[in-house]
Every structure is written in C-alpha cells, then in structure tokens.
Structure 1
Amino acid sequence: MAAEGGLQQKPVERVLISAGTGGLDESAAEGAARDVAGRMAALAEVESVSAPIWSADRTAVRVDVTMKGPELDGKKHVEPLIAQTDAVRAAYPGLRVEQTGSPSISKGIGELRSKDLARTEMIALPVTLITLLVVFGSIALAVVPLLLALSSIVAAVGLSMVASHMFPDAGIGTNVILLIGLAVGVDYTLFYIKREREERARAGGRLSAQAIVELAAATSGRAVVLSGIAVAVSSATLYLADDVIFSSIATGAIVVTLVAVVSSLTVLPALLAKLGERAQRRAARRGRPARSERSTAGYGRITGALLRMTSRHPVRTLAVAVLGMLALAAPLLGLNLTDMGRETHPREIPAMRSYDRLNAAFPELKSMHQVVVRAGADRAPQVSDALRDLARRMAADPRLASTAQLRTSPDGRISMLELAVPHHVSTDEARTSLRDLRRVHVPATVGALAGVETAVTGDVARYADYPEHQKGKLPAIIAALLLVTFAMTAWAFRSVVLGLVGVVLNLLSAAASLGLVVVVFQRSWAEGLLDFTSTGSIGSRVPLFLFVILFGLSMDYQVFVISRIREAVLAGAPTRRAVLDGIGSSARVVTSAAFVMVTVFASFVGLHIIEMKQMGFALAVAVLLDAVVIRILILPALLLLLGERTWWPSRGSRPVPPVDAAERTLAQVG
C-alpha cells in the first residue's frame, strides 16, 4: 500500500558525528555535518540529505542521507557514500565521524559472511580429504569424491545464475550450493566407489574395468538417482514458504543435487573405468593380478557390537533408543521462534558498532511503527485528522517516543503515519506497543472511518509478523515433506511399511536435533563454548531449513541401506539375515559419509551470524543422530521386529528363520 503511493521505505544511511576524546566541539561538529551534507548531496546515488539533527543532550549530531532506488538495493550502491564519510573523517581528526544504516550493515554482513565461509572451506576440505583417505587407503580414490563434489559445485553455481532469471535469488544461493554440494557430492561418490570395489573384489580379476563399473551402476547408480530425486523434491517444498530466501535455498539445493547426480552417472563411472584400466595394465606389466584396494566392507568393532546387541534384544534396543530421542526432542515444547532483528548482528561489523552509538545518542531511531491508510483522494483531510488523533494518543504512551511524522502521497490516496519506538524490535515494550496499536488505537481512530483500508507495518511489525508467517507455513511444508518421503520410499522399495518407517524416523531425528538446538541456543550456558549471545529464541527460518534439508539428506542413507537389504531379500535371503548383513556391510561407508557431512555442517557453527550458526549446529547434530542412532539402532531393531511384514504389500509374510549365519558373523566381531 505504501509503495502504491510512493511512500515505501527507502535505503537510509546516517552519518553520526560525536567527540573523539573529551567534550564535543559543537562548532567543529556543525562544520563537519555541513561538509557531509554537501558531499552527499553531490552524489548520483543520493536522493535527499537532511539538515543536521542534534541529539537531546547535544553530545552528537547526525545527517540522514536517503538513497535512490529500492531499500534492498542500497547495499550495492553505498560504497561512494562510505568514501565521502571517510574523507570527512580525515578532514576532522578531532571528531568521530562514522556511518551506519541498512545498506552499510547489509554490506558488512555480506563481507563477514564471505570471510566466514572461506574459513569453513579451509576446515571442511582437508577434513573431508583425510576422512576419505582413511576410508579408501588410496590417494587417487580419496581425491575422486572431492573433485566430483567441487566440480559439481562450480557447475551448479553457473547454472544457478541462469536459474536466477526465473527464480528470485536473495544472495544466499551460492552458500547453499557449497553446503549441500559438498555433502551430496561426497555421499554419492562414496556409495558408488564402495560398490565398484565390492564388485571388483567379487570378480577376482575375471572381469574388465568397464564391466565392473557397469555392475556397480546397476545397483548403486539406481540408489544415487533415487536419493538425488528425493533430495530435489524435498528441497522443492521450500517454495511453499512463499519467501524469497527459502526460494533461493530451494533453487540452490535442487540445482547442485541434480548436477551431482548427473556427474555420478557420467563422469564418475568414466573416471573409475579409466582408473581400473590403468591398474589392470600396470598389474599385467608386473605379471601379477591387480592389487585390490583395502576393502570398505565388513563390520567395525563399534558397529558390530551395536548390531549384535540389537539382534539379540531388538525390543529393548528400540525402546531405549526411541525414548532417548524423545527425551532430546522434549525441549521442543518450549521453542520460541523469532526473527533475528538487526541488533543481533555481530559487532565485528564496524557499521554495527556505529549503530549502537547512534541508538545511544538517538534512541528514537531504534525501531518504528508505520500506519498506512488507503482511501479516496477526497477523504485525505478526514484521514489526516484521524491520523493526527492517533498520533496524539500514542504520544501519551510511555513505550513510544514523541516523534511522529505524517506523509501523504501526491494523489492524496495513500497516507502514512510514522511513530518512533525507542526500543529494539525484540523488546516487550516494542511488541506490546504494536499489539495495542493494532488492536486498540487504530480501530478507535482511523480504523473507525467507513470505506477506509488500514494496515500497520514498520520494523516491529516485520519482526513480529515474519515468524508468524513461518509458523503458518510450517504445517503445510512438513505435511508435503512427509508425503514426499512416504511416496518416494514406498515407490522405490514397493513397500508401504517402509514408507511409514521412513516418515517416522525422519520426524524423530528432526525433532531430536531441533530440541538440542533449543537447549543450546535459547539458553546461555553454551555462549562461551560456541561464541554467541543468546537471544532466548531460535531464528524463524531454522526449523523449516532443518526439516527440509534433513529429510532430503537422510534419504541418502535410507535409500543406500534399504537398497542393500532389499537386494539380499530379492536374492532369497530371509529378511532377518538381510537386515543384519545389509546394515553391517554399509555401516562403514554411511558413517564415513555422515562424518564428512557433520564436518561440513559443524564448520558453520563458527560463523558469526547467529541464525547460520544455529542452522549449522542443527544439521550437524541431525546427521549425526540419523547416521548413528537411527540407522544402526532404531532402523535395524524395527526391521527385525517387523520381519517379512517389512515388504508389505509387495511380498507376503514368511516365518522368520532361527539364528543364521549373519548372527554367527556378528558373534565373531570384536
């Protein structure tokens, strides 16, 4: 409504002038303010410049600079303004001359985020390479997953530029591509290489490198395709949020996942075939069979012990593990979702330190209510009178400043009353004043006029309304995710039971990880450990991001593990033996892939921006719980109890055989 009348919020920078040391020289400050105003007015990026405005105690003076263009574009054009402020600072060394505002703060956040991400990459890449070296015992095979992931990321960044012409990008698409690309790229390559090595060991030198890769493609290739489709479709549910940030996340995740799938089906098999041929030729020259790389198959000590316990006591294992996960999820009942207001941004950004000093000198700038009215042009005088009455009412409210400004569009159809709120948007004073403004004061004044449309926006309203918007969208998105998880699993394995199992297990891991986020970030005990200041809340975007990304990525493990179990069942093995063999043989690669993903996500905990810190922590914990508790304890226990009913309706129930060879193998692990 405000934009319709040309009254929308504009990008505003404020130059604050105060004493460097000692008392303020008012004449020097006045001269510096005039210098700032003159320099800013000459810039092509500037629409208007205010006269110098003194603080109530005359310890500071400010100049407000309104920039041209939309508010969100201000950060792209703020550099010339900063340069002029720097020049004035140099000309008045005895004064503190500094600049802050939405554009400069946004610019500072972008620069800090880029530095943080570069640091996380420096951590994640070496740890990933070391993990792969441990898994494969081969430098060549360890480098392959990393190269595939990085090439997929580069390709996806390029394709996302094309996609941005159709889908809006809030500027975080590249961050998401880095986060998801490294995770799925390494995952898919690990799954594929593991199967290729198993087929090579089984062939015993009797098959060519191409034939071995084709055998791997017939099994792990299918699992990669199913997993990639699941991640892409799960990510697409974020479009339901009707939010530009989540649309950016969805687009980035979909593009990089599909690129990783295509790479795994084309570049990876070709590369493995070439490496295999080279190994065979080298072996032929030496006159002995090609050396088989160290196998990744077989149970590890810890996995074997856990599976042995699960096979002997499935009911007890299932009960204890589920109760433990529910206990971790219990704090979710106290979840407090809020938008992370500007005051939560890290003070490493110079514009945020200036923001604090500006608010100390001019507390009325902390936040604002804006009452917007749309009516016929002939009603403009009546609307203005009602808004002035509203301003008089609010002037008596101790939660608000006495500052109020009334503006009307040139055609007289749109009017806006701006009310200064000397409190940050997250405070009770700001939020309760918004509630009373909407429920009491507006209806009693301008809202009582017939045929007039009213609405309240502003800083406080954005802070209050955005989380409510997310809460409203969350049920629909979770329902869509559950439907996608069920449909994909049921279709892939021809089993309604497995579809339901997938839904329940994903909900359990997501709820448990979100409960841990509440314990860590809504309280203050971990502030020193993780370097943050608790806001007593969780960012409103975190649950949606966690649910969608986790549901997609957990399908990697689900598809890979269940595929191995189903292969054994279709080959004639009883479900009990298939479960133990399938989970045991895939445990090493699943835990290795999970370790890589946990490392990538955990590196985001070191970021300065608290919402990204919460997202990284949530995903790291969720993947860890999913790979260890869900896949090694709960899933096998549940499948052992279900027995042949696991495959309903595609396969009838059969009697469960007695103790089998798989259990004898487990008994020897140790």
Structure 2
Amino acid sequence: MFAALARLANTYPRRVLAITVLFFAVAGALGGPVASLLNSDNDSFSDTGAESAKALERIEKASGEMASPDLIAVMPAKDTAALDETLSILKSEKNVAQVAGGPDSGPAFVSKDGSKTYVVAIYKSHGDPDSTTEHLRDELGEVDGVTIGGFGPAYQQVNEQVESDLVKAELIAFPLLFLVSLWVFRSAVAALLPLLVGGITIVGSLLVVRGINEFVDISIFALNLITGLGLGLAIDYSLFLVSRYREELVRTGPGPEAIRRTIATAGRTVVFSAVTVAGAGLALLVFPLRFLYSMGIGVSIVALMAAAVSVIVLPALFAVLQHRVNAGSPKRWQRAQAAEIAAEKHGFWYQLSKFVMRFPIAIALTGTAILLALGSPFLGVKFTGVDATVLPKDASAHVVDTTLRTEFVGAESLPIIVALPAAESDTAEVTAYASQLGELDSAAAVSEPRYRGGDTWQIDVSSKFPTMDEKSLDLVTEIRELKAPEPVLVGGAAAEQVDQVHAIKAGVPLAMLILVIVTFITLFLMTGSVVLPIKALIMNVLTITATFGILVLIFQEGRFQGPLDYVSQGALESTQPVFLFAVVFGLSTDYAVFLLTRIKEARDAGAGERESVALGLQRTGRIVTAAALLFAVALGSFATSEIIFIKQLGIGTAAAVLIDATIVRAMLVPSLMALLGKRNWWAPKPLRKLHDRIGLSEGEPDELEPVKV
C-alpha cells in the first residue's frame, strides 16, 4: 500500500492535487451546512432506554402532552401588560397544550417578596418542540420585562453557545498554530502545510458526518470535537511527514526517493497511529448516550481522514514543491535546521535521555510520583450533568433557573417526575403516596397528583437543592426505593443524570477492553514486543489519572474561575472523564507509536539498547514537543468556551498531551527502557513467529544511513 502511495505521489502529483481541490469544494458545499442537520434535541446526555425516559414516554403517551414545562417565562408581578401579552403568545401557539401561571394562579406562582411571577407552557407530545421553542423565543423576546428559560430554551442556548464558541476557538487557534508551526519549521511554506491538511481534514470529516447522520442521529456537540481534534491530528501527522521529508531532502536530495522513504517510514507510522486513535473512538460506541457515541464517531472519522489526507495529499505537494518546501526560510534558519538533523548525538533530547538513563530508578520513581500526586484529587471526584447552570450566568435560561430556585417556594424548572400506574378512581391511594413523597428529607414541595389518562398519574417533586446537586440525585434513588401502590417510573433531569451515570458505569469495562486490545495489538505489530505495549498501557493510565486530577483541582474545587471565566458546579460533567479517557488513551498511544518506532528503527540499524533510546528520543524530541504544543493550542482553544463542559474538554486534552510529551516521554520512557534493556523487546516464541510473519516496521535499514551535510 505504501509503495503504491509513493508511486501515486511521484507519478501523478498534479492530478492528486486537482482532485483534492475538487474534493475540498464539494465537501465544503455539502458538509458545510451540517451544523443545521445534526441532532440538537435535549436528550444527547440521556440514556433513552432507561427508566427516566420510560417515565416521560408513559406520561406523554397517556396525555398527549409533554411531562414537564418546556418553556418558562418570568416577569414582574405587577406588569400586567407583559403578563397578558405572554399568555396571548403562548395560547396562540398551536403546539402548546397547556399554559399556566401568573399571580391569579396561586401563591406558588408569586415570588417570596411578591415582585415576580412566572408562566409555564407545556407542549403537545407529537409536535416539534425545537421549532416551537425557537418561534416562542422570537415572539417573547419582543416583550419587555420577560425573561425566557426552561428545558427547551436552555438546550437551545447551549447549542447556540457551542456554535458561537466554535467560531471563536477557530479564530484564536489558526493564527497561533501558524506562529508555532513557523517556529518549529523555520519556513513559511512548511508551516502552512499542516494548516492546509487541517482544513481539508475538517471539511472532509464534516462531509462524512453528514452522510452518517442520514442513518444515525449525531449530536451537534460533535462539531467541536471534529474541528478541534481534526485540526490537532492533521497537524500532528503533517508535522511528522513534513519533518521526515525534510530529513530525506538532506539525505538524498529532492526527487522520488525522498518521497518514497518518507511514506515508507513516517507515512506508515501515521496510518497505524490513526488506526489506534480511531480504535479509541470505537470504544465510545458502546455507550447508549448520544453525546458519547457521537463523539466516538467523530474521533474515528477525523483520525482516519487526517491520516488519509496526510499520506495522499502531502506527498503530492512534496513532489511539486520538492526543495521549495523550505521556501520562506532565512539562511540562518536553514543552517540551524540542517545542523539539528545532523547533530543527533549532541542534541538536547539525546543528552537528556543519556542523563535520565544514568539514574533510571530515581527518575522513574520521581516521574511516577509526580503523576500520582497530580492525579490524587480525582479520588474525591463528584459528577454532575448538563442543565441551565452550564450556561453563562447572564444567559436567560440560567437566570430563570436561579430565580425559580432562590426567589420562589417549591418552584423548579426541572422537577423530578413520578409516573404512577393507577386507575382514575384510586385518588385516595395516590394522594397518600404523594404525602409520603413530601415527607422525604430533600423534597421541597410535591405537586397535587394529576391523572393523565391511560391509568397513569403524574406527581412532580421539587428538591430543596439544585437539579444536579448530589442530594437531588439521592432523592431520585429514595423515591425509587419508596414503597408505592404500584411500581413507579421516575423521570426528570435529576433521574436522567442518575441513569446516565449507571449507563456509563455499565459500559466502562467493555470500552476499556476495546482500548486495551487496540493499543496492545497496534504496538505489538509495530514493535514485536509484549513488554512495550504493557508499559505503554500503564503510562497511558498514569497520564489519564494526572489529567483527571487536574480537572478536579480546577473545575470541581473552583480554582482559576476568574482567569478561565467560569462558575464551578462543584463537580465534573459525568461524560467528560469517559470521553477524555478514550481520546487521551488514543493520543498517548499515538505519541508512543511515533517514539517507539524511531527507537526500533535505530536499534534495527545496529545501535545499542540505550543508544537506540537516545537516538529515538532525539529524532522525535523537537517534533513531538511541537506536535503536543500545537495539539494543545488546537483543543486548548476550547478553554475560551462559555459552556463549562466544553471548557473541561479543551483543558483536559491540552493538559494530557503536554503531560504525555514531557513527563512521560522525557522521564518515564527512557528510564524504564534503560531499566529493562533487551527485555523491552521480549515476546513469547509463538508471538515472535507471528510478528515475523505479519509484523510491521517503520523503515528499512538502507533508509537509516547517517545524515550527510
């Protein structure tokens, strides 16, 4: 395959580039509008097969109405004009089934100080809630004094904020990425190539996502990942290919041979690294939550797309540019680049690895202690979900949520919903059960039981605490365990969060098994060793542990709220550790593949055990560091997001790749390689024979000649 790619690039480079331009145009036209086609419903974080979903389904089927208010409008209690206009707008909407509220509806609808009131709208269950909410937001937005919130507006505002943050992140990331690439490559043309590949990768991935979305609902939140991860991986892969091609230019000069060697070495590694990252994406498909499986699809698509663009388009560009890949570089930069390639045994990373390998035990213990210390806060982790509080404090849905909880008695924008199977005649029994619910310690108020038809009663329970507070989640469990006249179904946002965590816990073992198998197989095929994959797995776990600890330290404990512009929820959003575990696992393995293949390359060329480690680290040191820095910029730009769980995603991935590229690569890898020596490459005889037949290597001995300058 790799020989064929080299022939394609050397024989038809201009045709490849022409087809790429056409592909980019078509992908941009078809994939560009994908944001408006992806799923933006409010169940992206819910297990649609769980009890919480079944509770809502039962009520909606029995009544023809949604189980809880979809929209809530808060206004001054004495502003009768605003109240009348709000009621008129809501009642005239054909998809609204019920409207209630205002001072005349009872004390529950008036704030403690009497200054505010609110109105709720319950939609018909067979309508289009998203378009209904959008229309009502437009209409009510024209009414002075009215603040709009509730379930529907909150999720729409989250989606809108995500799209806005995506544009902002791109505007921040691209200029920074170019500047860092310029510093790395010391050439304007070479610095532009990773950004070019990144752009093609993103547009191509959006096209594929649009096609998949025709068959599987993909969450709109996957857009952030596709952009950030696609850009980051494309830049990583481009860095390795461009840097290797520049090495080969020094070795052999411009021409087909330099391209052939580049694809046979770095190109091969890029492909198998992409397979590893895509495998990490597959691990997320085991979860029933749309957010997670959408992210898994996104990870797999962008990894494979980034690799495809890198090994097809970049070599064609090399064939056209040849030595001009170094254009836009002052002679001083060119001399520095050539000297760096030539001076393998005098470089920083070579000398650092030699130092580390002099004291392998002490440094291995120090590196491990640092990672464990960083990870220790994760022992006290708490989890929360997605509600209006993930929005900026001034977002209307967040304002309404806070107002209802703090200024009204027993009001809740997202109550716990109990669906009780009972006949309409069983009023006394149902009422007695509702009284029991009101006696629970965390229950602030219990609504009057409502018969919804179809032998189904609905009882709403408001918690004394915020929706995602740990005590509200415990209240869900208490309600489920409370003896009822008939088995009840408990739904609502708090119940969905409880079921979500249960679904995540149930899926984690299989997801981890997939990650371990993919990582082990990939590294075994690349190295022929069973020891190196096991070490890589252990170091991946240490990296992830440290990353989780940093997230708890920042977001759960509320540090750096000013500089990072967020308000702590006192917990981590529960899907983020799962997502980060898979992605960071894949990325850590990605860097391990690049480093280990260069170490093996040097070893196969005759270098000693410790010397091959030093050479491998030197050959990858500056580039892997730059790749990690660029990746941290690409995804770290999401730290500017106004949505807290997107902020967690950006900072988590940025921290992980930087930890992996520094502490793991500079301290743990060389020290452990030195300690084990030849045992690093051990494998049982049957597996050794298997590797001899089907194993992979990055390069051939004749490609590893010393550089001549």
When normalised by structure 1's length, the TM-score is 0.85
> Which structure would you say has the larger Rg?
1
Q: Which runs of 5+ in 2 are unaligned?
A: 1-53, 329-333, 689-709
**How far 1:433 moved relative to its partner?**
3.5
- Residue 430 of structure 1 deviates from its aligned partner by 3.0
Q: Which amino acid letter does the alignment assign opposite residue 213 of structure 1?
A: I
Could you say what secondary structure the match of 1:110 adopts? helix
SS in 2 for 1:50: strand
CA contact (8 A) 2:357 2:674 kept: yes
Q: Give the structure 1 partner of residue 89 of structure 2.
A: 39
Q: Identify the residue that residue 630 of structure 1 maps to in structure 2.
A: 664
Q: Secondary structure at the match of 1:78?
A: helix
Instruction: Pick closer, same or farther for the CA change 1:431–1:255 going to 2, 3 Å.
Output: closer
Q: For the residues of structure 2 that align with 1:279 and 1:56, how far apart are their CA atoms?
A: 68
Verify: 1:390 aligned to 2:433, yes or no.
yes
List aligned pairs for 1:582-593, cutoff 5 A.
582-593=616-627
Q: Is the 8 A contact 1:14 1:65 kept in 2?
A: yes
Tell me: CA distance 1:405–1:313, structure 2 relative to 1, closer, same or farther (3 Å). Answer: same
Residue pair 2:405, 2:466 contacting (<8 A) in 1 also = no
- Residue of structure 2 in register with 1:550 after alignment: 584
Q: TM-score, normalised by structure 2?
A: 0.81
* Stretch deviating more after TM superposition (120-129 or 108-117): 108-117
CA gap 1:86/1:273 in 2 versus in 1, 3 angstroms = same
Q: Distance in 1 between matches of 2:213 and 2:426?
A: 42
What CA deviation, in whole Å up to 9, does each residue of 1:573-598 have, x standing for no partner? 22222111011111010000011011
User: Offset of 1:402 from its aligned partner?
Assistant: 4.4
Whole-angstrom CA distance in 2 between matches of 1:48 and 1:382? 24
Offset at 1:354? 3.4
* Residue 608 (structure 2) pairs with residue 569 (structure 1): no
SS of residue matched to 2:146: strand
In structure 1, the residue matched to 2:698 is none
Q: Answer with 295-304 or 547-556: which moved more.
A: 295-304
Q: Which amino acid aligns with 1:587?
A: G
Residue of structure 2 in register with 1:169 after alignment: 218
**What SS class does the counterpart of residue 380 from structure 1 fall into?**
coil
In the TM superposition, residue 383 of structure 1 has moved relative to its aligned partner by 5.3
CA distance, structure 2, for counterparts of residue 152 and residue 279 of structure 1: 20
Change in Cα spacing, 1:301 to 1:347, as seen in structure 2 (3 Å) is farther
- Deviation at 1:518? 1.6
What are the Cα deviations for residues 224-262 of structure 1, in whole angstroms up to 9, with x where unaligned? 110010000111100112211001101111111111111
Select the residue among 57, 61, 66 that pairs with 2:122: 66
Q: Which residue of 2 aligns with 1:288?
A: none
Task: Give CA-to-partner distance per residue, 1:365-412, whole Å, 9 cap, x none.
Answer: 3242222234xxxx6146544322111223445643444143445433
Indicate if the aligned counterparts of 1:153 and 1:177 stay in contact, CA closer than 8 A: yes
Following superposition of structure 1 onto structure 2, how do residues 347-496 of structure 1 map, counting pairs within 5 Å? 347-366=393-412, 367-374=414-421, 380-381=423-424, 384-397=427-440, 399-412=442-455, 414-427=456-469, 430-440=472-482, 443=483, 445-447=484-486, 453-496=487-530
- Which residue of 1 is the match for residue 357 of structure 2? 311
Query: What is the alpha-carbon distance in structure 2 between the residues aligned to residue 629 and residue 280 of structure 1?
Result: 32
SS at structure 2 position matched to 1:187:
helix
* Letter of the 1:146 counterpart: L
How far is the alpha carbon of 1:520 from its aligned partner?
A: 2.0
Aligned equivalent of 1:236, options 266, 282, 303: 282
Tell me how far apart the structure 2 counterparts of residues 246 and 483 of structure 1 sit (CA, whole Å): 20
For 2:481, give the aligned amino acid.
R
Tell me: CA distance 1:332–1:144, structure 2 relative to 1, closer, same or farther (3 Å). same
The answer as to whether partners of 1:365 and 1:421 remain within 8 angstroms in 2 is no
- Which residue of structure 2 aligns with residue 327 of structure 1? 373
In 1: Cα distance, 2:189 partner to 2:335 partner: 13
Report the alpha carbon displacement of residue 495 of structure 1 after superposing the two structures with TM. Answer: 1.2
Q: Does 1:80 align with 2:114?
A: no
Q: What is the rounded CA distance, in whole Å, between the counterparts of 2:575 and 2:594 in structure 1?
A: 29
Q: Is the 8 A contact 1:124 1:600 kept in 2?
A: yes
CA positional deviation for 1:180:
0.7
Instruction: Please state whether the residue corresponding to 2:410 is helix, strand or coil.
Output: helix
Pairing partner for 2:148 from 99, 105, 108: 99
Aligned-CA RMSD value:
2.7
1:154 aligns with 2:197: no
Q: Which residue of 2 aligns with 1:120?
A: 169
Farther off after superposition, 271-280 or 493-502: 271-280
State how 1:587-626 maps to structure 2 within 5 Å.
587-626=621-660
- C-alpha offsets along residues 314-373 of structure 1, whole Å, 9 cap, x if unaligned? 222212111221222222221222224433432132332233334444342324222223
Local SS of the residue matching 1:456: strand
Residue identity opposite 2:418 in structure 1: V
Q: Where does residue 187 of structure 1 map in the other structure?
A: 236
- Structure 1 position 68, deviation (Å): 4.1
**Deviation by residue 1:145-166 (Cα, 9 ceiling, x = unmatched):** 1110111101111110111123
Distance 1:475 1:555 in 2: 19
Shift of 1:222: 0.7
Distance 2:460 2:179 in 1: 57
Q: Secondary structure at the match of 1:536?
A: coil
Contact 1:554 1:623 in 2 (8 A): yes
For the residues of structure 1 that align with 2:312 and 2:470, how far apart are their CA atoms? 57
Q: Distance in 2 between matches of 1:280 and 1:530?
A: 38
Q: Distance in 1 between matches of 2:327 and 2:567?
A: 60
The Cα of 1:218 is off from its aligned counterpart by 0.6
Higher mean C-alpha deviation, range 306-315 or range 255-264? 306-315
Indicate if the aligned counterparts of 2:349 and 2:617 stay in contact, CA closer than 8 A.
no
**Where in structure 1 are there 5+ consecutive unaligned residues?**
19-23, 90-95, 283-290, 448-452, 653-670
> Shift in Å at residue 87 of structure 1?
3.6
Give 3-state SS (helix, strand or coil) of 1:633's partner.
helix
Task: Name the stretch that deviates more: 305-314 or 590-599.
Answer: 305-314
CA–CA distance in 1 between the matches of 2:507 and 2:289? 10
Amino acid paired to 1:496:
V
Q: How many Å apart are 1:468 and its aligned residue?
A: 3.5
* Pair 318,372 (structure 1): closer, same or farther in 2 beyond 3 Å: same
Asked if the contact 1:494/1:650 (under 8 Å) is kept, the reply is no
C-alpha distance in 1 between matches for 2:592 and 2:91: 61
Match among 541, 547, 552 for residue 513 of structure 1: 547
Within 2, Cα distance between the matches of 1:331 and 1:61? 43
How far apart, in 2, do the equivalents of 1:516 and 1:281 lie? 41
Alpha-carbon shift at residue 275 of structure 1 (Å): 0.4
Provide the C-alpha distance between the structure 2 equivalents of 1:517 and 1:60, rounded to a whole number of angstroms.
Answer: 38
Counterpart AA for 2:429: A
CA contact (8 A) 1:138 1:293 kept: no
Amino acid across the alignment from 1:389: A
Structure 1 position 280, deviation (Å): 12
CA shift in 2, pair 1:293/1:182, >3 Å: farther
Whose RCO is larger (CA < 8 A, sep 6+)?
2
2:272 maps to what in 1?
Answer: 226
The amino acid of 1:192's aligned partner reads L
**Are the aligned partners of 2:388 and 2:401 in contact in 1 as well (CA < 8 Å)?**
no
Residue aligning to 2:321: 275
Q: Give the aligned length.
A: 613
Deviations 1:414-454 (A, max 9, x none): 333223335322346534433432223xx1x324xxxxx42
* Aligned partner letter, 1:583: L
Q: Give the conservation status (yes or no) of the 8 Å contact 2:530–2:683.
A: yes
Q: SS where residue 217 of structure 2 aligns? A: coil
1:346 is matched with 392
Q: CA deviation at 1:56?
A: 5.7
